[in-house]
Amino acid sequence: MARPDDQAPLFPGDGDAAGGTLRLPDLFMLRTGPESDVVVSSRMRLARNLDGFHFKPRFMEGECERLEVHLREVLRESEPSNRYHGLHDLSATERKVLFERHLVSREHAADEHPRGVSFSADGTSSIMVNEEDHLRLQVFAPGLDLEHLDRAVNGIDDRIAGRVTYSFDPRFGYRTACPTNTGTGLRVSVMLHLPALSGRLEGRPRGAEQDVVRLQNAAQQLGQTIRGLYGESSRADGDFYQISNQVTLGRRPEQTLEDVGKLVRMTLDWERRNRDAHLERNRTRIEDHVWRAWAVLTHARRMTSTEALTLLSALRLGVCLGIVDAVDVPTLQGLMVDMRPGHLQYQAEAELTAERRDEVRADLIRGKLLAT
């Protein structure tokens, strides 16, 4: 069976080596935030379009390029400390790195039309130009910090709105390319680490995540959804799940934040209770799960990205439960990003075969863990 690393390229030109033109921002996940034993990170995104331009599916000839040039200048004025890159000027490896850091979407990286991204040096904000909408404003924070993100994304939105005219309907709100974003255009996402709810600690086979299914049903009833590591249609590798809102029309932003926050806190409590129950019932099983992960991570010479993420997930749980003190959560979260295929090739400044990536990945993880 083909491994994820060996499957078809993530997007066209995936075999290109890194071009060296991209300056990466800092990795915000190297810091911890509130509720970090369960919550990895939080994100808020606003979808916006400009008056005077068609939506992306109906661009006229040359309109896409004119809009990208126009918004590039707008963002240089509104976010002068940000770095701007035209994605069409970057190599496939560089675009993959941006995707792996969630600074751009999979579709934005894969497209071929004129488009770009503006991001802060600390990696806590990014603005996609000519994605599905003309603008996608994103802000990130480690842990659960929705109030801070609300202030941050609205600040960016206000600065841009002072230089452009958004497409807005007094009755329906902000007009967007997809009706599911019409209204506030707001998407709130929280990434959680749920090894107990996934059934991992009971040795359940994949697909038998009974508690996660119940969580998904509860989310659906509340107008929210549960997705995998990279959002829509992605898998929950490593027991990482995203909770996010689905409804934007007729819902005030404050209500969306409150609703997502409630479900996240309910999930936090549920996950923690399950972890404690497993520890009380069978501590030896949990310790074995964690230390086996440590043993493989510190001795293996080859490792796929899926295997590495699963093992790092187990080790993260061990750190949060106080079983392991040889490494901390930020270091593990940094490894979860640095060991991805695009990052390995970016650091190597060369194209690597899947087999060679497995070797480099194992060397990277082993070296980092044994050095701590």
Residue 253 in any domain: the answer is no
* pLDDT for 316: 97
CATH of the domain at 46: 3.30.590.10
CB 48 within 8 A of CB 135: yes
* pLDDT for 13: 37
Task: Give the domain range for residue 315.
Answer: 282-371
Residues 175 and 313 placed together within one structural domain of the fold: no
CB 115 within 8 A of CB 130: yes
**Dihedral angle sign, alpha carbons of residues 62, 68, 71, 72:** negative
- The CA distance from 296 to 165, in Å, is 55
- The CA distance from 107 to 201, in Å, is 34
* pLDDT for 235: 56
The residue out of 150, 183, 216 marking a domain boundary is 183
- The CA distance from 136 to 80, in Å, is 18
- Could you tell me which residues are beta bridge partners of residue 228? 231
The residue out of 160, 183, 206 marking a domain boundary is 183
* pLDDT for 212: 81
Residue 224 in any domain: the answer is no
CB 161 within 8 A of CB 179: no
Burial of 247 (0-12, 13-18, 19+ CB in 10 A): middle
* pLDDT for 216: 86
* pLDDT for 18: 37
* pLDDT for 2: 41
Residues 166 and 292 placed together within one structural domain of the fold: no
The residue out of 158, 183, 208 marking a domain boundary is 183
Q: How many CB atoms lie within 10 A of CB 314?
A: 24
- The CA distance from 138 to 127, in Å, is 6
* pLDDT for 206: 54
Residue 254 in any domain: the answer is no
**Maximum distance among all alpha carbons in the chain?**
65
Q: Count of domains in the chain?
A: 2
The secondary structure of residue 16, as a DSSP letter, is P
* pLDDT for 125: 98
Q: List, run by run, the mean pLDDT of 10-residue segments along the chain (372 residues).
A: 42 38 90 95 97 91 95 97 94 95 95 95 97 97 96 98 96 91 94 90 60 85 80 67 88 91 95 94 94 98 96 97 96 96 95 97 97 82
- The CA distance from 257 to 226, in Å, is 16
